[in-house]
A and B are shown apart, each in its own frame.
Chain A
Amino acid sequence: MADKVKLFVNGQEVEVESGKNLIDAIGAVGIEIPHLCYHPALGADGNCRMCLVGIEDGRPPIVPACKTKAAEGMKVLLDADHIKKIQHDVMELELINHPIDCPICDQAGECKLQDYYMKYDGQKSRMTVKPVMKAKKLDFGAGVVHDQERCILCARCVRFTRQITKTGELGIVNRTDYARVNIFPGRPLANRYALNVVDLCPVGAMTSSDFRFKQRAWFLTKSPSICQGCSKGCNIFIDHNREKYKDDVIYRYRPRLNEKVNGYFICDEGRMTYKAENDNRLTTGIVSGKETGLSEAVEATRRLISEAKKTVFLVSPNNTLEQMYAIKAFAAEAGAALSGFSDGYIQEGDADGYLIQDDKSANRASFELLGIEGSKDGFDKAVADADLVISFNNDLSKSLAEADLNALLEKAQLVYIGTSLGTCASKAAVALPIASYSEDCGSLINIDQVLQQFAVAVVKNEPAANLIEVVQQLGGSVAGVKEARAGLMESVAALKDVNLEEVPEEGIALTDNEVSNVAA
């Protein structure tokens, strides 16, 4: 644990972590120091002057909190009149040329300028001269649209492209009133993390062309979840809303801080995976090409299983730990072979050493934990004499060429229990809709062996059954997530010391040792 130091804020004694700057240290005990340019991932820049605080008996007596380390006995002044005046004056400066177009601004409701105006400024504009006009709708590339007039020149976006992505597409050009953020002509934003500048921007200067004008921030429900775009397991917020007379729809993903996994950011591809949750979903059962209810599809599947000579259960590396456990138990009961073949989910060479991974599935590490075999050889052997393949949300068309898939389906029937319409759903004898991860809950183990859990975020008007329920209806014995977790803790050695009912928000790191101890 970090050392603690005692200091005084407005005369009140608080104990804070040493080594941190005043914004973070004092912020951790719930006292806010207003700041615009400082961001923990980008470090102190000291350009906005909003975080100036008084230090009683200090030399100098006024310091930027972002660049000042918390020290023993420090007497920090936040509510002294001269500090309030600074905050008030800085706000007035920021608003001199600001268009105050909040009614049409996407940031409204989550804008630092709005919040701080209400808290630290609150006066009418004294400006009588015409504000400086700048460009309103610049396409910076990568889905980022920039409004130079709203910009307060905190340089967070500039520092992000220089320090984090090291691509440096953005810069602040000109000086004085004319200063503005811009790209170099012909060199737009071209990195796979560019949309993070939209989140970083404390005002509405950076907007996402995907989200622009879609929703007001205050209507969105912000549910914590885990991105399933790759095996990194970045923490996200799912921002969704059920408009009157409509269904619950996801409008965007935003990164959620987890120092152990993704830090403050997520990649753009992951951010856009929300579209698959909204669109092209399998919503009804399909039996021999005809839409049916779930019960008919379940009935048809049960009949197929009882008639089949040999059945193969195909697990998806995106299934949660609990789902895999339920499927594995069902496979043992039904005498079916089990395979996790999903080579198509891996894009060799795509990883960038930061967040993006080769493996585009969220939970392949659990295969190892549960002894599920995912090789092509194992799959070929299992299906060689099989006449029924049941895919549990595993998109086989990703891993098999069309000809191979067709050849397989000539001798075996396919049941697709999944979330999306596509090749598998259309080629299947029976297709069963299930809840996707945004509508479900469970545990995932990422590529670095961190076990994380996510809860139900979206509740559709007509919720699809979750996969464990469907497995149970098909004849499986595991009744629900709770029972799966109890079973996992009992039977999997690596999870013996883990309480799956109480996984902390930042996840649990399973060391490599524990995983390799598991009997395959």
Chain B
Amino acid sequence: MSDRSQLIETGKPFAFDEQRDAEFERLATRYPTRDSLILPSLWLVQEQEGWISAEAMAYIADRIGCFATQVYEAATFYTMYNLQPKGEYHICVCRTLSCYLLGKQEIVDYLQSELGIKPGEVSTDGKYSLEEVECLGHCGSAPVVQINGEFYEYMNVDKLKELLATMN
């Protein structure tokens, strides 16, 4: 996890497309309070754009009728939400207790030197993005790395080398 509070502004207004708009309205009937729409709305934005901009957060807040800071809080809290365009391979390394104790730092250090990017950054060619994330729920098979949603368990530098080779 790094500081995720620096939002990116696209300079263009955001709006749901027709399909997501309908989905939003359908979801609105599902919850007892509209504040509950914050998380699913953020997913809809991410589905549509691949990442979530400042404009999109403001749009969601105004659509839901909640404070923009509530959306801002939720989006920066959960590392599953991408707050910048991600790379072709989005690599998440768990940094919570079990993975921490079992050597996540070696993995992060290796990825940093191999890819030339720090956690929270995207490589200049847009191929890789690296993120340190909070618990992914695979503590029993720590340390764990998640690449584009796929889990890779009991990770170490050697296994990672093989994995990276398949990506090239």
Contacts and interface: CB of A to CB of B under 8 A. Distances in A.
B1 A169 contact: no
Contacts of A178: 1-5
B24 interface: no
B3 A170 contact: no
Contacts of A183: 69
Interface residues of B, number: 22
Interface stretch (B12-20, B44-52, B70-78): B70-78
Given A168-B67, A174-B77, A182 B1 contact: no
A174 B58 contact: no
B20 to A, nearest CB: 22
B134 A174 contact: no
Given A184-B58, A185-B9, A185-B54, A171 B70 contact: yes
Nearest to B77: A175
A162 B76 CA distance: 19
B69 A180 contact: no
Interface in A159-189: 162, 167-176, 178, 180, 182-187
A182 B67 contact: no
Nearest to A170: B69
A184 B57 contact: yes
Interface in A125-183: 134, 158, 162, 167-176, 178, 180, 182-183
Contacts of A167: 67
Contacts of B69: 158, 168-171, 173, 182-184, 187
Interface of B is mostly: helix
A182 B71 CA distance: 12
Contact of B5 (A162, A176, A182): A182
B112 to A, nearest CB: 18
B10 to A, nearest CB: 12
A344 B73 CA distance: 45
A289 to B, nearest CB: 56
B7 interface: yes
Given A178-B1, A184-B57, A185-B54, A172 B9 contact: no
Given A174-B3, A174-B4, A182 B72 contact: yes
Contact of A173 (B2, B4, B58, B67): B4
Interface residues of A, number: 21
Contacts of B157: none
Contacts, number: 64
A184 B68 CA distance: 6
Given A184-B68, A184-B72, A173 B134 contact: no
Contact of A171 (B1, B54, B72): B72
A175 B95 CA distance: 13
Interface in A33-90: none
A170 B73 CA distance: 10
Contacts of B70: 168, 171
Given A162-B67, A168-B67, A184-B58, A173 B1 contact: no
Contacts of A172: 73
A176 B67 CA distance: 22
Nearest to A133: B3
A182 B6 CA distance: 10
Contacts of B2: 178
B58 to A, nearest CB: 7
Contacts of B77: 173-175
A182 B1 CA distance: 18
The 8 closest A-B pairs by CB, nearest first: A171-B69, A168-B67, A184-B68, A173-B76, A171-B73, A173-B5, A175-B77, A174-B76
18 contacts: A167-B67, A168-B68, A168-B69, A168-B70, A171-B70, A173-B4, A173-B69, A173-B72, A174-B76, A174-B77, A175-B1, A175-B134, A176-B134, A178-B5, A182-B5, A182-B69, A186-B58, A187-B58
